[in-house]
Chains A and B, each alone.
Chain A
Amino acid sequence: MEQIDNGPAVLYIDRHLVHEVTSPVAFAGLEHRGLQVFRPQQTIATPDHNVPTVDQHLPIRDLLSKSQVDKLTENCNRHGITLYGLNHPYQGIVHVIGPELGLTQPGMTIVCGDSHTATHGAFGSVAFGIGTSEIEMVLASQCIMQPKPKTMRITLDGQLKKGVTAKDIILFIISEISASGGTGYFIEYAGSAFQNLSMEGRMTVCNMSIECGSRGGLIAPDEVTFTYLKGREFAPKGTEWEKAMEYWKSLRTDDDAVFDLELKYNAADIEPMITYGTNPGMGMKISATIPDGSSLTEKEKPSFFKALQYMDIEPGTPMLGRRVDYVFVGSCTNGRIEDLRAFAGFVKGKKKDSGVVAWIVPGSRQVEKQAHAEGLVKVLEEAGFAFRQPGCSACLAMNDDKIPEGKYAVSTSNRNFEGRQGPGARTFLASPLTAAAAALTGKITDPREFL
């Protein structure tokens, strides 16, 4: 909208999503300045991080969590902001409900006080996470101040192998460029392998853009995008739809666009991936051996060995066959209906390993409802899995779903940081298929053995 000399640009925000954890201080700041929300109809709120995933009809037992959820309700009421509260049919993880309600549309600027806002880039929108001060800016003025990012294009052509999913693509990319390789960049994902992904797969990829340090990532909108959006609750209708389509189709990147950095990979080189360390860049092909650290510089070594020590893993050993205590399927990375379909399809007619505790958590109320309607829940239950209620759950352990100290979890979420899934918890990030294989065998298992 405006570029300050030698400073950031003022960016107008079309859609602002809000959850209970990062917003209370922003609302307080607004009130401290005696301001009202400038454009309340462009903000939508839902509680997700803190909510329990069982007995959601009961009051939240953790008093601090309850106070944040109550505060969100109070702030939304006071400022006339639409809230999909607990038990509302649209409640869910903020990055799951935005797309499924058609709130996320191509060409929009979308922000949320949450780093995984990058998810919405799957629709060709400019979407990224912001801090609480910036939430306050959006509430006060519908704008934020942003320095212009550098641009990176990652092109992936070719056919994915059987058993390789969108999650493996993004874990592969992060392992290639490292957990900080994308810092300062905005990524465009291009090439046939991304075009062939479903919207849900594209969301999984864009979602984890932040895990290589980049603010966001996007994929140009195409027929897949439009088909997904058509008929959704808040998608444009009638002549509005025609008008929107015209605009959306104009959003493709020029063929001669120049990027600050171009990377190219071949889809056929990607295998099912898994992480072994304590940042998402510490990932590898599931059948490979964990690096022994000998190729690292002296400066890199302490962090590497500290990570393996936390994980209680010997360098140079294989991942396959390693014991697994917990399996978590869910989160804004892999908690959508397609993920549940993939998982349920995999375990259908088989039995969960008795030593594994598995939490299968839908990303939203609507996903939950659909999983019931499609009979997935029945399949899961017959295979020995319990199906929980929507929320962030064990992705960040702010609620009751925590992996106990020292235990190993295969998780479809997005972060394997120390303590992310509970104090002392040890996380292996992987796809829903790899999670399913681990749940059936109690060990890290190549999902292709079952395909």
Chain B
Amino acid sequence: MPIEKFSTIVSACVPLPIENVDTDQIIPARFLKATSRKGFGENLFRDWRYDRNDRPKEDFVLNQKTWSGSILVAGKNFGSGSSREHAAWAIYDYGFRVVVSSFFADIFKNNALNNGLLPVQVSEGFLAALLKEIQENPVSQVKVDLEKQVITLLSTGASEKFDINSYKKKCLLNGYDDIDYLLSIGDKIKDYEKLKNH
């Protein structure tokens, strides 16, 4: 599935100041039964968002009108647990394009990048300042510039550089994915197989 090209994003943020948000919370297993990639956003953070009778829980951030935007800002160790790519799909399908945290679980990070969702890893200090600002001032805008690899909190001007693998960056900027690349080296793969079998 070719991914959407990623350019600079300027948006308000949704704060989720919880650490160790695991993929079972992002999308509970019972919603993994679909056989297509679409529609998982409806069940994003299902059990935090709705009660047993499917009524929205008012105290959960996605149910509050105060916050909106395409950037999710979460506590340390985001996306731990199961390898389900559905977690990245659900976040993307809901409308987020960036997740900011001070630490990401490996598989989640990979899955996100493979689906055009940008994980931005920032320092603990920057994360704390960012969370504080968007909680106090929900309309605060944040700019994420992938080309320059810089995230900026526009209201205060505070900014930080973030890391991204240069290959992944190229893929995101151009909207192509690993499969496109692997298909292009098919002959090399066959040569390798021959070598291996000797």
Contact B32 A302 (CB under 8 A): no
Interface string of B167-195 (1 = CB under 8 A from A): 11000000001110111011011001100
Within 8 A of B (CB), among A61-76: 64-65, 67-68, 71
Stretch from B77-85, B90-98, B134-142, B151-159 at the A interface? B77-85
Which residues of chain A are near B168, meaning CB under 8 Å?
A: 7-8
Given A67-B35, A180-B80, A279-B22: 15 more A-B contacts, CB < 8 Å: A5-B167, A22-B85, A25-B35, A32-B1, A115-B83, A131-B107, A131-B111, A133-B114, A145-B181, A147-B165, A180-B76, A215-B107, A418-B25, A419-B24, A423-B28
B129 interfacial contact with A, CB 8 Å: no
A201 interfacial contact with B, CB 8 Å: no
Total A residues in contact with B, Cβ cutoff 8 Å: 67
Contact B105 A213 (CB under 8 A): yes
Which positions in B face A, CB cutoff 8 Å? 1, 17-20, 22, 24-25, 28-30, 32-37, 47, 52, 75-77, 80-86, 88, 103, 105-107, 110-111, 114-115, 124, 128, 165-168, 177-179, 181-183, 185-186, 188-189, 192-193, 196
Which positions in A face B, CB cutoff 8 Å? 1-2, 4-8, 10, 12, 21-22, 24-25, 28-29, 32-33, 35, 38, 49-50, 64-65, 67-68, 71, 113-115, 129-134, 136-137, 140-145, 147, 179-180, 183-184, 213, 215, 279, 299-300, 302-303, 306, 396-398, 405, 415, 417-420, 423-424
Which residues of chain B are near A1, meaning CB under 8 Å?
A: 188-189, 192
The listed residue (B22, B24, B82, B167) touching A7 by CB distance below 8 A is B167
Between A and B, 18 residue pairs with Cβ closer than 8 Å are A7-B166, A21-B84, A29-B179, A50-B33, A64-B33, A114-B83, A131-B111, A131-B114, A134-B114, A140-B179, A141-B179, A183-B105, A300-B19, A303-B18, A397-B29, A397-B30, A398-B30, A417-B25
Which residues of chain A are near B80, meaning CB under 8 Å?
A: 179-180, 213, 279
**With A1-B188, A12-B196, A114-B83 known to touch, is A306 a contact of B24 (CB < 8 Å)?**
no
